[in-house]
Structure 1
Amino acid sequence: MVQQVTKGIKITVKTNFEGTFRKDTGSRFAFSYHINIENQSKDSVQLTSRFWTIKDSLSPTEIVQGEGVIGKKPVLKPGESHNYQSGCLLNSPFGAMSGHYNMISFNSTRKFKVRIPVFKLSAPFALN
């Protein structure tokens, strides 16, 4: 588990290896990640978009960006949290993800970025 607080928004990430499967000419490694976004600030905020950097030890770095998270743009009042789960496929048993959420404060209409800490993706069978 990793955690990061940016401007009063706490991000907690837990990962899990889901398994290996064959695709085309090689193996693919499936990982899930569970994210909790907690508003520890005094302002109501809304998550508007996301930006991910996905690193795979056998592939070029991939950038993923888009609106909201899993089809939602959650609004968080002070003290509230939003949880969601998603996943990614890698060509190797090792990788990492990091990124940021773009958010807006309702009190000041200020847009800001909330850092998502680097989290490792590793298949347990591949660890020494």
Structure 2
Amino acid sequence: MGLLNSVSFQRLQGGIDAAYKRQNVLANNVANEDTPNFKRSDVSFESFLQQQESGIKPTLNAKVTDSRHFHFGTNRIVPAAVVSTDETTSMNNNDNNVDVEREMALSAENQLRYSSYVEQINSQISMMRAVIQGG
């Protein structure tokens, strides 16, 4: 097994990918602030990861491509980020539901989340480097 193939690295990579996708979705929401009938989108990742870790809702299953494969649990699978659109709300007279202040706050939160994921990856790589170099 490679050093960077551990479950923790895969989850951090999934978090970075989700943060990247979320930033693009939030930017698209802001760009369409005045577009009639536009409905904002959001990205779900962390909630899926929490459900997976707590065992509340094991909705993620391993892909089995052959009947001879072992069936195993979801503890090693990293969920993918899912983009969802909020079709139920409307904030403006033109049926648009984008609140720019909320989108900017979510963007700032996403930037902090992204930075923490990168910091955790850097920390793990530094620890591995110290072990490999013997110091």
- Greater fraction of residues in helix: 2
- Greater fraction of residues in strand: 1
Structure number with greater Rg is 2
TM over 0.5: no
